[in-house]
Amino acid sequence: MTDSTTAVTLSIFRHLFTSVAEEMGVTLGRAAYSPNIKERLDFSCAVFLGDGRMLAQAAHIPVHLGAMPASVQAAIHTCAPFQSGDVVIVNDPYQGGNHLPDITLVSPVFIEHTVNPDFFVASRAHHADVGGMSPGSMPLSTELFQEGIIIPPIKLVEAGKRNEAVWQLILRNVRTPQEREGDLAAQLAAHAIGEKRLHEISTRYGLDDVWHHANALIDYANKMTRAAIQMMPNGRYTFTDYLDNDDINPIAIQATITIDEAEMIVNFTGTGTAVTGNLNAVPAIVHSAVAYCLRCVALVLLNTDLPMNEGAFAPVTTHIPPGSLLDPHPPHAVAAGNVETSQRIVDVVFGALAQALPNLIPAASQGTMNNLTFGGTYPNTTHQFAYYETIGGGAGAGPHADGASGVHVHMSNTLNTPIEALEHTYPLRLETYSLRQNSGGKGQHRGGDGLVRAIRFLSPVSVTVTSERHQKQPYGLQSGSPGERGKNILIQNGDETEIPSKITLNLKTGDMLRLETPGGGGWGKPQE
């Protein structure tokens, strides 16, 4: 094969690189222990060049993948030099992570060179418990130290030998060490597969040709993203939306998007300052949300699929005020920033882009991941359990169709946990799992309906709920109506009590929790 690059060879290498990340994901999902990773597929995998530029990613979790380059750069900055068989582990949000339950592994891959890696493979998985002040490690925290074990970039495996001291330190600081051990081992297995496939590709085509096409793909993504931006009208577009926070004092997130030919600037000046709670989000999450929105728009404008790599980030400049909600100083709590604030950033960016592209951008989706964590002790044993899940809702309607009902939206791309798996693994019974009828906003196209998920606990548990859109509804567009707000209800002895969007509860055997998730906004004026 020659060094010349054609559309055919570019397509071949694009799918080769993507297939490495996809197969890593298949391995991780099959080998994992926890339902959150095995059933809900709450993980992501990606491939990077040896200098840390993202080359390819699987179609996994948007909030993971756009932020993962920060983890690879942190690993390079902190842990180099590398040798074959090294694996770096990190979850520190202020050193390349996004929130503590998301543990990232980064492995160098050496093909021909022995001093500097030729590639990196990386995986990020949401572990159902990493310690902290409440089971599930998504507490209503006020500082990072309350959220779980903090792991700076450090070599978990060095030259093929696992660092047993680090391994045991991690397991000693979690409630479910056997489950964590299995999930971490699954991530290591995924990395072994990724490294093997990169060796096979490089052997077949030659490393120089592989690098040539890798750089060509990054350049192609850059050019295509710029072409999409050029199709948008030049101008400045500002939009503001709000997080519930404590249900009394909403937090503003504001974005001003400037389109100037093939360049886009997204300025978050006007966003509120960092809060004492856990809704703060580190800049990697902001970059991830902005990249996701731009990619969605580019796919429609260009009517073609685009490779997601370093080149797709190049045409965008993001300005985030230091000390704000989106760039907090350590040790601000950040557990919910990854899951809730990321969703509102998407709502704000799309709200601004809707002014430039009114006949393309959909109305707001549910705008929350409806995070539910619980934990306790299995009946008649001393073994602890901890569980985490996000719950779908309504998608916003668009100019051509109604919004989908009962789905995970935007920055979450997970599945639900099947009822059978949930009831088999934990002492509980799922009493209701259904669509929340008529919760989507009215319009020429209706917003999707949310979900109703009611769980009866069959043993005492500590439960934490972190949800949003209980105060300000998901907005409609082009005269469409907003979606219904979310609602959380505690049922004890037959009595129903509406509870706040963010709360920790100690529940008894027989108590039931019902989450009614928001609907999506409607699009267009409702027809009679």
- Read out DSSP for 213-254? HHHHHHHHHHHHHHHHHHTSPPEEEEEEEEE-TTSSS-EEEE
**Domain-embedded: residue 373:** yes
Query: Reduced to 3 states, what is the DSSP secondary structure of residue 142?
Result: coil
Query: Reduced to 3 states, what is the DSSP secondary structure of residue 6?
Result: coil
Summarised one tens digit per residue, pLDDT across range 212-260 is 999 999 999 999 999 999 999 999 999 999 999 765 678 999 999 999 9
**Domain-embedded: residue 314:** no
The amino acid sitting at 199 is: H
Dihedrals phi, psi of 82, to nearest 5 degrees:
-110, 160
CB 154 within 8 A of CB 90: yes
**Domain-embedded: residue 11:** yes
How much is the pLDDT for 65?
67
The residue whose two tokens read 């489950």 is 179
Last residue of a domain, one of 165, 198, 219: 219
How much is the pLDDT for 493?
94
The residue ranges of the chain whose pLDDT is under 50 are 1-3
**Domain-embedded: residue 283:** no
The residue whose two tokens read 């989000």 is 281
How many Cβ atoms are within 10 Å of 348's Cβ, its own excluded? 27
What's the Cα-to-Cα distance from 341 to each of 140, 230, 440, rounded to whole Å? 14, 29, 21
Last residue of a domain, one of 151, 184, 219: 219
361 CB contacts (<8 Å, ≥6 apart)? 297, 350, 353, 354, 398, 477
**Domain-embedded: residue 166:** yes
How much is the pLDDT for 85?
96
Residue 492: give the domain boundaries.
362-528
Query: E strands along 50-86, which residues?
Result: 54-57
How much is the pLDDT for 252?
96
What's the Cα-to-Cα distance from 198 to each of 121, 141, 202, 437, 481, rounded to whole Å? 9, 41, 6, 48, 50
What is the Cα 178 distance to its own chain's centre? Answer: 25
Q: Which of 129, 122, 118, 117 is nearest to 83 (CA)?
A: 117
CB 284 within 8 A of CB 250: no
Domain count, the chain: 2
Calpha distance 97→31 (Å, rounded):
23
Summarised one tens digit per residue, pLDDT across range 387-410 is 999 999 999 999 999 999 999 999
Radius of gyration from C-alpha coordinates of the chain: 23
How much is the pLDDT for 247?
53
What is the Cα 21 distance to its own chain's centre? Answer: 16
How much is the pLDDT for 248?
65
How much is the pLDDT for 1?
40
CB 363 within 8 A of CB 397: yes
**Domain-embedded: residue 289:** no
300 CB contacts (<8 Å, ≥6 apart)? 360
How much is the pLDDT for 66?
74
Last residue of a domain, one of 176, 196, 219: 219
∠ CA 477-479-483 to the nearest 5 degrees?
60
CB 210 within 8 A of CB 55: no
**Domain-embedded: residue 303:** no
Q: Which of 196, 218, 197, 195 is nearest to 10 (CA)?
A: 218
The amino acid sitting at 220 is: Y
Sign, Cα dihedral of 130, 133, 134, 140: negative
How much is the pLDDT for 2?
44
